[in-house]
Every structure is written in C-alpha cells, then in structure tokens.
Amino acid sequence: MTASNDKPEAVRRRVGIVGGGQLARMMAEAAPDLDLALTVLDPTPGAPASEFATQIVGDFDDREALRALAAVSDVVTLDIEAVSAAALATLEEAGATVAPSSRVLGVIQDKFVQKQFLAAHGLPCGRFAAVEDGATLAAFGLPCILKARRHGYDGRGVRLVNHPDDAAPLLAGGPCLAEALVDIDKELAIMVARNARGEVAHYPVVEAVFDPAANILDTIKAPAAVSPAIAARCTELASRAIVALGGVGIFGIEFFLDRAGDIVINEISPRPHNSGHYTIEACATSQFEQHLRAVTGMPLGPTTLMRPAASFNLLGEPQAHGVPAYRGLDELARTPGAVVHLYGKHSVKPYRKMGHVTVTGNSGHDAAAKAARLRGLVRVEGNGP
Ligand SMILES: Nc1ncnc2c1ncn2[C@@H]1O[C@H](COP(=O)(O)OP(=O)(O)OP(=O)(O)O)[C@@H](O)[C@H]1O
Ligand SMILES: [Mg+2]
C-alpha cells in the first residue's frame, strides 16, 4: 500500500452556473454526491436553483456579476442559452474555464450559424437560408418554417409560413432562418455528453410528442419506438456533431424522422434538455450528474436505461396567474413508478414550466399509459386574478 492510494480524487470543486432556473436546480440536486459546491447567477431573487445553491443576484450579461461568479468557481457553465458569448469570452480571456465554451455557445445560439456548422461537417440538416425580408423569403420559397435566429425557445420564434404575411411578425423582430418544411413522422432526441478528455457517452434515443396548441414539448417516451438502425443512425449523428463542435458538457440533439425514413438534425442545445429529464429516474446516471461530471473533468457515468419511462411537463394552466396551486399530486403519489419534480417557482403563468413528472414502467407502453392518465389529473392552477 502506498500513501498515494489514500489521496482524495480531487479537492472539492466549485461550479458556477449562469442562470438559476430548473436546469440549474436539478444540477444542484445532483451536486453534493459529487462533492461539488454550486453558485448560480440569476436576476430573480429566490430563483429555482437558490434552494440548493448559493445565488448571486444579477443579469446574465452583467460583466461585473459574471466576474463575481467566475471568482468563486473553478468552472462556469450554463442553464440558459441566451447569454452573451462575448461576455463569456471575456471571462475566458481572464483565465476562467467556461464549459461549454463561448465559441461553442456562439455557434449554437444563432440558429443560422448552427445550421451552417452542421452542413459544413456533412451532417444532414435539410435546406435552409438566412432571411431578412420579403425578397429573401420569396427567393427561398413557400411554404417554409421561419425561425428567429436568436433567443427562440419552447417554440416561441418558430412559425409555419404559408403566405408572405405570416412572416411579418417574426421578420420585424430581427434576422431569421428559413427551413424547408419536413414531413415529420417522429420527433426524436438524444442526450450526449463529452468531457474535456474527449470521452463521449450517449443516452438512448427518445421520442418527443408535441402539444400542437402550445407548440411545446408534451411527452417524452424513452426509449423511442424506432428500429435499431434508426436509433444507431441518430446516435452516430449526435456523437459526430458533438465531436465536431468540440463541446464539453451535455448536449441535447433533436432530430426529425420524415415519412420517407430519412433523418435530419433539427437543433442542438448546449445544456441539459427537457427531453433528458427522464434520466433522473430511468438511467444509471442522470443528465444533470453527467453534465457536472463532464464540465468538472470527472469520468462520465454509465448511461444505461434501467427501465422504460415517459415524462411530461407540468405547465401553468392557460389562465393561471399568481401563487401556484398544484392539483392531483395525491393521485400521482399513489401511482407506482410516478415521480414529480416541482421547480419551486413562486408564481405561475399560462404555459410556464412549473415542474415535470416521470413515470417508469415495465414496458414503454405501460409507462406511457400511466403518464397519459396522470397527464389528465395533475394541473398547475394559480390563486391570482
Ligand atoms: N423544418 C421543420 N419542418 C417541420 N417542422 C418543424 C421544422 N422546424 C421546426 N419544426 C417544428 O417546430 C418545433 C420547434 O422548433 P425548434 O426546435 O427549432 O424551436 P425551439 O423554439 O428551439 O423549440 P424548443 O425550445 O421547444 O426545442 C419543432 O419541435 C417541430 O415540431
Ligand atoms: Mg427544439
């Protein structure tokens, strides 16, 4: 026995997160078992993550606040994409480690630049073009899907354009990306992690079912009911994309499977993703633990799917305002395999993400059936006007 065997693997590491929302909150829940201390930067006092992490109150782009975050962190990471890549680059120049890096964020946060990157690396992403006005839109051709190049999320800033008039509100907001309309059979997604040593770990392919009214993710089914060949193709494309990016952290990659059986990449998120929440209960390592492992240079954990799962978001009811009132949680508690995660938000708004539910089952069908039943019972109302 040499003394070196008794050395700790590392001293306690500190992670700073820009954004203190639900993703940071779920990272913070995974942090103690990794011996990590977390600090979040968020403009709203009492942000969701502040229950489990130290909070610095400040804007995401406030350079002074970012410097304060970096000063108490060994590595800085993100819970949101709408952070100034230039501000993060300034931190890097001052010696801070940022993961994913300002360069990776810069590629991803502009949807047009992201598509150019994918195309340049031979990754399938459909036909697209930058569009600024009616003339460039007409040159691309209608119908198409028009997207704000920056700051779109949860389907906000995405629109099907059949007629030039449909494009006006989005074009008025700034530069856009036009995409060929995909005849979607299934929307698929996969989480992939990569650490600074270049180790890559991927999770199973899942299917995302969307709510057409809110244009927001409705239910995730894990694993996706697709052929092994399609799952293998998604896994290969996701790994290639993250390696090409040189990304460090966890990434969510969204795909469209079209009715001809072809797969295109829709988009990449440089952080834990809604479609990976099921990993907390269903996989050997949750996406949040995996992200922290990746950005702090630890070995990646196993990604095995232990049980089939289905998860859905708890959104504010269409008229809900004020202090949240959760309904149906007792029934959920009586359902074997069902787990609720509440995000600790102090007020509810229509369609605001207030929490999520994951149900594991003996089969994908069993989990999805239980989730569908609970989906009709669990609601978030508000006590406000
Ligand atoms: N080229 C396309 N063809 C057909 N449908 C599309 C296309 N692009 C996007 N959509 C539809 O619009 C949805 C939202 O698009 P996208 O993922 O780009 O936006 P987002 O605002 O980043 O969404 P989120 O934050 O929910 O992932 C997709 O999930 C899909 O249902
Ligand atoms: Mg998306």
Separation between Cα atoms, residue 41 and residue 52, nearest integer Å: 13
In a domain, 10, yes or no: yes
- Note the pLDDT of residue 7: 55
Per-residue pLDDT at 210: 81
pLDDT at residue 259 in the model: 97
Indicate whether 148 and 288 sit together in one domain: no
Q: What is the pLDDT of residue 384?
A: 85
Residue 323 lies in a domain: yes
Sign of the C-alpha dihedral computed for residues 122, 128, 129 and 132 taken in this order? negative
Residue 239 lies in a domain: yes
Rounded to the nearest whole angstrom, what is the distance from the C-alpha of residue 306 to the centroid of ligand 1?
29
Judge whether 119 lies within some domain: no
Cα separation, 190 vs 204, in Å, equals 6
The set of residues, in sequence order, having a beta carbon less than 8 Å from that of 6 and lying 6+ positions away, is none
> Is the CB of 218 inside a 6 Å radius of any atom of ligand 1?
no
Atom of ligand 1 lying closest to residue 216 CA: 26
- E strands along the chain, which residues? 13-18, 36-42, 54-57, 75-78, 128-131, 144-148, 158-161, 176-179, 184-194, 200-202, 206-211, 216-222, 249-258, 263-269, 309-315, 324-327, 338-342, 353-360, 379-382
Crossing angle, helix 111-120 and helix 228-245, to 10 degrees?
110
CATH number at residue 52: 3.40.50.20
Nearest to 242 by CA among 290, 205, 288, 193: 193
How many whole angstroms from 301 Cα to the centroid of ligand 1?
30
- Is the CB–ligand 1 distance for residue 152 below 6 Å? yes
> Which one of 116, 151, 179 terminates a domain?
179
Residue 161 lies in a domain: yes
Where in the sequence is the domain holding 89, given as residue range(s)? 3-98
Among 127, 219, 255, 256, the mutation site with the greatest number of ligand 1 atoms within 8 A of its Cβ is 256
- Same domain, residue pair 53 and 174: no
Q: Distance, CA 192 to ligand 1 centroid (Å)?
A: 19
Give which of 123, 270, 245 is closest to 191, Cα–Cα.
270
Verify that 60 and 83 share a domain, yes or no: yes
Residue 209 Cβ inside 6 Å of ligand 1? The answer reads no
User: How far is the C-alpha of 251 from the C-alpha of 255, rounded, in Å?
Assistant: 13
3-state DSSP assignment of residue 313: strand
Which two three-digit tokens encode residue 118?
């994918």
- Boundary-marking domain end, from 179, 206, 241: 179
- Find out whether 314 and 353 touch, Cβ atoms under 8 Å: yes
CATH of the domain at 261: 3.30.470.20
pTM here is 0.95
- In this structure, the residue with its CA closest to atom 16 of ligand 1 is 155
Same domain, yes or no: 23 and 151: no
Length of the chain: 385
User: How far apart are the C-alpha atoms of 14 and 266, rounded to whole Å?
Assistant: 33
Same domain, 317 and 212: yes
Question: Considering 148, 179, 210, which residue would you say is the last residue of a domain?
Answer: 179
Using a 10 angstrom Cβ sphere, with 0-12 exposed, 13-18 middle and 19 or more buried, the burial of residue 63 is: middle
359 and 320 within one domain: yes
The answer on 148 and 274 residing in a single domain is no
Task: Report the number of distinct structural domains present in the chain.
Answer: 3
Do both 211 and 332 map to the same domain? yes
Q: What was the pLDDT predicted at 109?
A: 96
Do both 284 and 236 map to the same domain? yes
Kindly provide the b/e burial profile for residues 182-193, where b requires at least 16 CB atoms within 10 angstroms of the residue's own CB: beeebbbbbbbb
Same domain, 352 and 207: yes
For residue 200, what are its two tokens?
């890559």
Other beta carbons within 10 Å of 158: 17
Q: In this structure, are 166 and 260 located in the same domain?
A: no
pLDDT at 229: 98
Helices (H), the chain: 22-30, 63-71, 85-93, 102-109, 111-120, 134-140, 168-172, 228-245, 279-282, 287-295, 329-333, 364-375
Mutate which of 23, 153, 253, 266 to test ligand 1's pocket (most atoms within 8 Å of Cβ)?
A: 266
State whether the beta carbon of 217 lies less than 6 angstroms from ligand 1: yes
Q: Answer whether 210 contacts ligand 1 (Cβ < 6 A).
A: yes
Check which CATH number belongs to the domain holding 169 and give it: 3.30.1490.20
Given ligand 1 and candidates 80, 142, 145, which is best to mutate, with the most ligand atoms within 8 Å of its CB? 145
Q: Which of 158, 177, 263 to mutate to test the pocket of ligand 1 (most atoms within 8 A of CB)?
A: 158
Nearest CA to ligand 1 atom 10: 145
Shared domain check, 375 and 275 = yes
Query: Between vectors from CA 86 to CA 52 and to CA 20, what angle results, nearest 5°?
Result: 15
Residue ranges, the chain, pLDDT below 50: 1-4
Examine residue 32 and state whether it is found in any structural domain, yes or no: yes
